[in-house]
Every structure is written in C-alpha cells, then in structure tokens.
Amino acid sequence: MKNPIYVTQPAMPPLEEFTQYLEKIWGNKILTNNGPFHQQFEKELADYLGVKYVSLFSNGTLALITALQALKVTGEVITTPFSFVATAHSLWWNGIKPVFVDIEPYFCNLDAEKIEAAITPQTTAIMPVHVYGNICEVDKIQKIADAYGLKLIYDAAHAFGVKVDGNSILNFGDLSVLSFHATKVFNTIEGGAIVSHDEKTKTRIDFLKNFGYDGELRVVAPGINAKMNEVQAAYGLLQLKYVDRAISNRQRISDLYKELLHNIKGLAFQNDQIDVIHNHAYFPVFIDEQLFGMSRDGLNEFMKSNGVFGRRYFYPLISQFPTYKGLSSSNPANLPVAELAAKKVFCLPIYADLDLDDVKRICTLIKSAGK
C-alpha cells in the first residue's frame, strides 16, 4: 500500500528561517504579554486580511468564548448544528443556550430564511459559521440582526483570506473569529484571533484575553488568559510569507478534483461562489447512496482500506452530542437539511503540499468505488 494520505497536513515554514526568529526571542527573553513579534504579527495580519483590528489568541475556541464576553451576549444565541463542536461549546461556556437553526442545502451554511422563526425574547445574538470557507448570506443576516437588535458574531474559523467583491468577509457582522489551528488553511500551530472594527472594542477584547488587566493595577473585567505567545506569533509572521502560495496550491487541487469528479453519478460537490475569492479550505463531496451505488460510510471505509483518510465533516451534527441532544431545537425534525448533509458529506484530502498525482489516485479510487 502507498503512503497514507490524510484529510489535511499542516503547511510549515522553512525551519532555517524560523530559527532566525527563535534566536531573536532567545536574545530578548520576551516570551509573551504583547511582545514585539505579537505586535508586528497583529499589524501585518490586519494588513494581509484587509481588516481594521486583529486581536491574537492562543486558540480559536478561547477567541470565540471571549468574543461573546466582549459583547456581553447572554440568554439564547441562534447558531448552526453543522459545524465543529467548538462553535456551540463557546456558547455553553458562557452559560448561553444555543438554538439550532437548519442550514441551506448547497453551501451548508445557516439558512437565513429560517432565523426569524427561532428568535425569542431571550435571543441576544446570532452566531453563523462560514462553513468550508463559503460565505454566509451576510446582508440578509445583518438585516435580521439590525431589525431585532441582535449582536452578530461570525465563526470564521474556515474563512481565512476569503473575500467578497474584494472586501474581506471578516468585515461583516460585529466580530469575526479565526482559528489558526494546525489543521486550518493558515496555522500558528495553535492560535486564533478576533477581528473587530473599532478601537474601543479591540481594547476591550485585549483586556479580556489578559485577565481583564487595563494597565498594571486596574482589573476591569473577569478576563481569561488567552494570549498568543511570542513563538506562535513569530511562526505566524513567517507563515504569512507563504500563505498565498499555499492557497494557490489548494486552488489547483480543488480544480483538479472538479475536473476529475464532475461526471460521477451520485457524487456532488460545491462550485465556487460568485465574486468570492475562496481559500479552498476543504473539498467536501456529497454522496447519494442510491445513485452512487455505495453509502458515504461505505466509501469512507473503502478509501481507508486503500490508505486515503478523508473526514466526515460535519457528522455527527453538534445537536446530536449528549450536551445538546436534549434541547428542543436539536430535534432532527427541526434540522432536516443538516441531518441529510451530515449523512452524505465526505471531505477529501486537500492541503498545500498534496501531490496532484495523489489527487488523481484518490479520484480513480472513488470512481472504482461507485461501481
């Protein structure tokens, strides 16, 4: 059997370049607490992304939790069950009740048409996810948030570098939260960030991630420790030099998948959104068991036995985990589109260093599975 291929593999910068950054850290002995690399990375990242303010975090989940704290979100929050479990966990850790709303069937994002019906007097915010880096219906969702006086926080963990009509998707809503986990398009090993649009909010977020400290002696809130350290920030600065190349490699892989998989009965994939610069974070395919001749789980097992390890993102739905299963909005009858997508979806390997010959081999395997 050939070398196994996993759904992702982290992009890493050249080690000899990283050691130069490490030498600086060993020289100045500044390891954390808003050091020089942290400050430089926040600035360069904001420039790269085309956003006003970035607050760096030790990971995306703490950034989500802190974003909710920063806007004092309470009560109920409308969100999607079709995401990584951290989306809902960030609500739970704030004592907020997630209210799951169904997704739309093509891009698998929160269905804007179904949000209003889920709003109650306890609703204070909406937390949608740009799933797979496909953008949500941001204008429609903003209109609902404005009409009902709700905060809008995007879980943008998949949306690094995504733009619509030349504008960063991170500029929509009140806040957007990024993850720089090893498995994401852009990684700082672990890491994350909150994107905000005004200095006051940025300052408040920065207090909250550092125990609530405003200066040396004043603590203005029950903050947490969610700071990014200097080693991560240095690594991130270096990663920024290589991320465009990583995304264009991903584009090439995505294009080849589309070319080789376009006429397979019972296998569907998502075409790119119009006027969107995509990051090709994932390559999900959707398996119709009847037409394809094999179930999604059957395909997963078949691929595994041939050394190809895809992932069923997002199965099971968040609403099916024990913490959330008892909520009335978790009833499968409330979430038919998400339930179906979770049964059909299979994410194929995609990462910057994936060989195009391996993509061809994966496609040949898929074709032989359907027969």
Ligand X SMILES: *Cc1c(COP(=O)(O)O)cnc(C)c1O
Residues near ligand X (CB under 6 A): 59-61, 83-84, 86-87, 129, 155, 157-158, 179, 181, 192
Give the span between the Cα atoms of 294 and 300, in whole angstroms.
10
Are 125 and 73 spatial neighbours (Cβ–Cβ below 8 Å)? yes
Nearest CB to ligand X, comparing residues 35 and 133: 133
Closest separation in Å from C-beta 192 to ligand X: 5
Closest separation in Å from C-beta 368 to ligand X: 31
Distance between start and end Cα atoms, the chain: 21
Nearest CB to ligand X, comparing residues 193 and 366: 193
Give the span between the Cα atoms of 317 and 341, in whole angstroms.
9
Closest separation in Å from C-beta 226 to ligand X: 10
Closest separation in Å from C-beta 310 to ligand X: 16
Question: 130 burial class (0-12, 13-18, 19+ CB within 10 angstroms)?
Answer: buried
For residue 288, what are the contacts with CB-CB under 8 A and spacing of at least 6?
Answer: 266, 267, 268, 344
Give the span between the Cα atoms of 347 and 286, in whole angstroms.
9
Give the span between the Cα atoms of 204 and 181, in whole angstroms.
24
Nearest CB to ligand X, comparing residues 66 and 330: 66
Nearest CB to ligand X, comparing residues 189 and 363: 189
Are 79 and 91 spatial neighbours (Cβ–Cβ below 8 Å)? yes
Closest separation in Å from C-beta 309 to ligand X: 18
Nearest CB to ligand X, comparing residues 57 and 286: 57
Closest separation in Å from C-beta 15 to ligand X: 23
Nearest CB to ligand X, comparing residues 86 and 195: 86
Nearest CB to ligand X, comparing residues 172 and 292: 172
Give the span between the Cα atoms of 307 and 330, in whole angstroms.
35
In the bound state, the residue with its beta carbon closest to ligand X is: 60
For residue 237, what are the contacts with CB-CB under 8 A and spacing of at least 6?
Answer: 21, 37, 40, 41, 44
Closest separation in Å from C-beta 17 to ligand X: 24
Structure token pair of residue 185:
């398009």
Closest separation in Å from C-beta 351 to ligand X: 15
Phi then psi for 105, rounded to 5 degrees?
-75, -20
Nearest CB to ligand X, comparing residues 195 and 264: 195
- Is the Cα torsion angle 25, 31, 36, 40 positive or negative in sign? positive
